[in-house]
């Protein structure tokens, strides 16, 4: 068994080089782009966003960090990557004991994955853990990541107003909220000021472009111009200025970023870095099944659909067979939504679940079941979250290093595109190429 394999089966406490790499070690930072500074480190201005369930685990996050950028592990249901932990929880039925066993197994998996990612990163870059506010095990996941020595905690799918309380004993860890508009930025700054915590950075995610759960109250709001980078970045900078934090909190733009020119464009608006999700799925190192990668790599923008998730938030995914069938009966299921005696699975993954709680207008499916099917490559049954915008390498699966190099090289047009830049005109780099059809279309 190699070193990473050993760490995965048996958690350990490795030391992390606190100094980090010089800027651009591994992949060069080109002239014309600024580096990103988070938690006292100088980094490439590229963040690989957290992706659950199990899509961004140790291999992807560690490989990205090893190149001097930010790699993010998703903390959700990581036991699914560990056959021994799955075996230990497979017979868990219902009730508090089953729930406690599954939650404990997920925390063991999180510790293992952080240790393995750290080994791969080799002391370079920055390692973050993503936790979703809407998930029931949010607080235990954040505490476990902090105890395991994570560099940054990133929280989306809800306002993380309590994050500074959870991380009070870890003042050196960067706490990073994912927000969509300037109102959210101002609110977090105000609430965190009372707790005497300054965000380590802020991710501004555009709901019209990103994959997964989206930061808008309802589907009808997704195209609201307040989310456009041209609007939200200057407004977030103004909010930082009026809070006396000018120049102290890096802004990271997420959603539809696909090439060097996109990075340059958001830096010109005042952001420090970009966060990408979908392009990192189409990499060799991504922890998802090869079929998962193909689904995202081969999807065109017109194959994507937005719908209301079981967490009550809008979400964007590829219209694969399960989602297509679900959407046909969604209205009927919503009309007959009612409180169930218990969660479909044993562990109540969501604090508020539309299916279990029978919430009117919320999704009526078990998200953990569908995301787990996607992770194991079941194209018929899985739910495949995806962002919009043609991928830099079209439908090809490439090494992380190739993706990073392409993002940091001017004039490299995506190999397939039908897309426009978030909130703006089609970028020259994104214009006009054809893309492949979905395998099942």
Ligand X SMILES: Cc1cc2nc3c(=O)[nH]c(=O)nc-3n(C[C@H](O)[C@H](O)[C@H](O)COP(=O)(O)O)c2cc1C
Distance CA 370, CA 53 (A): 10
The residue assigned the tokens 């909130």 is 423
C-beta separation of 189 from 243 below 8 A: yes
Q: Which is nearer to ligand X, 192 or 209 (CB)?
A: 209
3-state secondary structure of 122: coil
Residue 368 binding target from ligand SF4, ligand X, none, CB below 5 to 8 Å by type: ligand SF4
The closest of 198, 58, 36 to 119, measured between CA atoms, is: 58
Among 288, 310, 313, 398, binds ligand SF4 (CB under 6 A): 310
Residue 390 binding ligand SF4, by CB under 6 A: no
209 binds ligand X (CB under 6 A): yes
Contact at 8 Å (CB) between 74 and 130?
Answer: yes
Query: Do 418 and 300 touch, CB atoms closer than 8 A?
Result: yes
Q: CB of 441: closest distance to ligand X in angstroms?
A: 20
Among 24, 50, 177, 382, which residue sits at the site for ligand X (rule: CB under 6 A)? 50
**Cα angle: 297, vertex 299, 301; to 5 degrees:** 125
Q: How many whole angstroms separate alpha carbon 61 and alpha carbon 58?
A: 5
Of the residues 275, 308, 359, 405, which one makes contact with ligand X according to CB under 6 A: 275
Q: How far apart are CA 142 and CA 137, in angstroms?
A: 9
Stretch that binds ligand SF4, among 4-12, 287-295, 353-361, 372-380 (CB under 6 A): 353-361
List the x/- string, 367-386, binding to ligand X by CB under 6 A.
Answer: ------------------xx
132 binds ligand X (CB under 6 A): yes
Q: Minimum distance from CB of 44 to ligand X (Å)?
A: 16
From residue 344, give the alpha-carbon distance in Å to each of 94, 138, 353, 376.
9, 20, 11, 19
Check residue 78 for interaction with ligand X (CB under 6 A): no
Q: Looking at 115, 366, 371, 430, which residue binds ligand SF4 (CB under 6 A)? A: 366
Given the rule CB under 6 A, which of 107-115, 156-164, 364-372, 427-435 is the region that contacts ligand SF4?
364-372
**Alpha-carbon 20 to chain mean position:** 23
Contact string 161-200 vs ligand X (x = CB under 6 A): -----------------x----------------------
Q: Which of ligand X, ligand SF4, none sits in contact with 178, Cβ below 5 to 8 A by type?
A: ligand X
From the CB of 173, what's the least distance to ligand X, in Å? Answer: 17
413: CB partners within 8 A, 6+ apart: 259, 428, 429, 430, 431, 433
Q: Where are the alpha helices (DSSP H) in 195-338?
A: 229-242, 260-269, 278-281, 290-298, 321-335
**Which tokens go with 289?**
């099944």
The CA–CA distances, whole Å, from 148 to 116, 152, 284 equal 11, 11, 26
Number of residues binding to ligand SF4, judged by CB under 6 A: 13
Rounded to whole angstroms, the Cα distance separating 323 from 381 reads 8
Helix (H, G, I), strand (E, B) or coil at 202: strand
Alpha carbon distance 268, 109 (integer Å): 40
- Sole window of 25-33, 94-102, 240-248, 252-260 interacting with ligand X (rule: CB under 6 A): 252-260
- Asked if residues 413 and 434 have their Cβ atoms less than 8 Å apart, the reply is no
Residue 348 touches ligand SF4, criterion: CB under 6 A = yes
In the list 51, 126, 299, 353, the residue contacting ligand SF4 (rule: CB under 6 A) is: 353
Task: Work out whether 374 is an interface residue with ligand SF4 (CB under 6 A).
Answer: no
Please identify, among the stretches 15-23, 102-110, 137-145, 269-277, the one whose residues bind ligand X according to the rule CB under 6 A. Answer: 269-277
| Interface with ligand SF4 in residues 144-203 (CB under 6 A) | none
Which CB, 28 or 139, lies closer to ligand SF4? 139
Which of 349, 371, 379, 438 is in the footprint of ligand SF4 by CB under 6 A? 349
**Does residue 158 belong to the site contacting ligand X (CB under 6 A)?**
no
53 belongs to the binding site for ligand SF4 (CB under 6 A): no
Residue 385 has φ and ψ, to the nearest 5°, of -65, 145
Binding of ligand X by 110 (CB under 6 A): no
Q: How many residues of this chain bind ligand X (CB under 6 A)?
A: 30
29 closest CA partner among 419, 414, 407: 407
CA distance 82 to 106: 9
**Residues contributing to the site for ligand X (CB under 6 A):** 49-52, 55, 74, 76, 130, 132, 156, 178, 205, 209-212, 254-257, 275-279, 281, 385-387, 389
Chain residues binding ligand SF4 by CB under 6 A are 310, 343-345, 348-350, 353, 355-356, 366-368
């Amino acid at each position: 068994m190699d070193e990473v394999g050993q760490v995965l089966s048996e958690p350990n406490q490795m030391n992390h080089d606190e100094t980090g790499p010089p800027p651009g070690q591994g992949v060069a930072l080109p002239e014309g782009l600024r580096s990103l500074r988070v938690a006292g480190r100088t980094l490439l201005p590229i963040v690989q966003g957290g992706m659950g369930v199990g899509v961004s685990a140790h291999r992807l996050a560690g490989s990205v960090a090893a190149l001097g950028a930010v790699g993010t592990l998703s903390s959700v249901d990581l036991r699914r990557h560990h056959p021994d932990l799955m075996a230990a929880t497979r017979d868990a039925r219902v009730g508090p004991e089953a729930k406690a066993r599954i939650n404990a197994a997920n925390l063991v998996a999180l510790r293992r994955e952080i240790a393995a990612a750290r080994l791969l990163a080799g002391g370079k870059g920055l390692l973050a853990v993503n936790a979703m506010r809407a998930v029931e095990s949010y607080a235990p996941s954040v505490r476990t990541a902090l105890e395991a020595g994570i560099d940054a905690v990133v929280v989306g799918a809800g306002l993380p107003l309590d994050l500074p309380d959870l991380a009070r004993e870890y003042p050196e860890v960067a706490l990073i909220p994912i927000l969509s508009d300037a109102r959210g930025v101002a609110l977090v700054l105000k609430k965190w000021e009372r707790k005497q915590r300054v965000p380590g950075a802020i991710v501004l995610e555009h709901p019209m472009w990103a994959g997964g759960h989206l930061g808008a109250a309802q589907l009808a709001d997704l195209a609201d111009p307040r989310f456009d980078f041209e609007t939200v970045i200057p407004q977030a900078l103004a909010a930082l200025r009026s809070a006396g934090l000018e120049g102290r909190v890096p802004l990271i733009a997420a959603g539809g970023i696909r090439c060097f020119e996109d990075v340059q464009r958001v830096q010109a608006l005042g952001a420090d870095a970009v966060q990408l999700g979908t392009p990192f799925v189409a990499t060799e190192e991504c922890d998802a099944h090869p079929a998962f990668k193909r689904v995202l790599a081969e999807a065109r923008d017109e194959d994507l659909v937005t719908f209301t998730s079981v967490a009550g938030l809008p979400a964007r995914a590829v219209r694969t067979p399960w989602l297509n069938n679900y959407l046909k009966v969604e209205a009927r299921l919503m009309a007959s939504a009612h409180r169930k005696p218990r969660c479909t699975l044993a562990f109540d993954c969501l604090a508020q679940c539309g299916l279990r709680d029978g919430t009117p207008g919320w999704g009526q499916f078990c998200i953990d079941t569908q995301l787990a099917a996607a992770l194991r490559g079941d194209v018929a049954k899985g739910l495949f979250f995806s962002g919009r915008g043609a991928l830099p390498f079209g439908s090809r699966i490439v090494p992380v290093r190739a993706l990073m190099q392409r993002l940091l090289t001017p004039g490299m047009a995506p190999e397939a595109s039908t897309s426009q830049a978030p909130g703006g005109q089609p970028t020259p780099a994104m214009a006009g190429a054809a893309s492949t059809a979905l395998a099942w279309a």
